[in-house]
Amino acid sequence: MKKGKFFVIIFALSGVLAFVYLLCFGGEDEVYTRLRKEMVQRQLAARDITDRNVLDTMGKVPRHLFVSKRHRSQAYEDYPLPIEEGQTISQPYIVALMTQYLKLKKGEKVLEIGTGSGYQAAVLAHLTDKVYSIEIRENLAKKASETLERLSYNQVCVKWEDGYFGWEEFAPFDAIIVTCAANHVPSPLLDQLKEGGRLIIPLGSTLYFQTLTLITKTKGKPKVKHISGVRFVPMTGEAEKRNRKQIASGGQDQDNIVSSPKCNHKREYRVNYR
């Protein structure tokens, strides 16, 4: 067994043992509350998450209810976890980091591309009451909607669609967060971003690593800031098609801004949309 893999296994087992210990000496709700508090202190505040609203929110959202029962004991550990259809729920630190860079205010409208489990949408819903989220996989969109509704996140609206095209019906948006990797910025997302709006996206090779990138729309043009190296699952659908065409034509997997056709809406899963 490789040394790195050995330490990963030991780390995971230590988390499980700690969870079992806490469960034996306290109620389930108390256990998860304590784990969330420790997560905020050790993984977020101890790093560079300084926004008090983001820290408070991360301490409230029940992350364990967005993963399967078999992974609940690891829900507040410092790594991503698998969900259905080969997707993941991001590491808590990355969720907090991306949220912090959006600098959301009450009343602002935010669009999420890649609903996944619904956890990121729930975090956003604590910061603003206008959250729109798109998921390309029907099963994930439906399940996330049900989870959000069950937990009374009534301000979140989820749609089953290709997020590459954004959600023109409710544009423009004050902020857009993309939780899947792309090798270019979809032009519909820039078009649907307000002047002065913020867009955060893992940008770069969809096969290896990406750069978490913040784009601010200034006088109609993207102002770019590179934040840190990350690794996300790739954006599929239209983004994947364009990537394949680019590679087939001899192009490189690099950052660029492209045009795209109009969106054809399909079925929607909404959570108490108002």
Active-site residue set: 90
Separation between Cα atoms, residue 170 and residue 192, nearest integer Å: 9
Cβ contact 70:82 at 8 Å: no
Separation between Cα atoms, residue 15 and residue 31, nearest integer Å: 13
Amino acid identity of 151?
A: L
> What is the Cα 226 distance to its own chain's centre?
18
Separation between Cα atoms, residue 159 and residue 155, nearest integer Å: 13
Using alpha carbons, list the distances in angstroms from residue 76 to 11, 85, 132, 217.
13, 21, 25, 34
Cβ contact 149:271 at 8 Å: yes
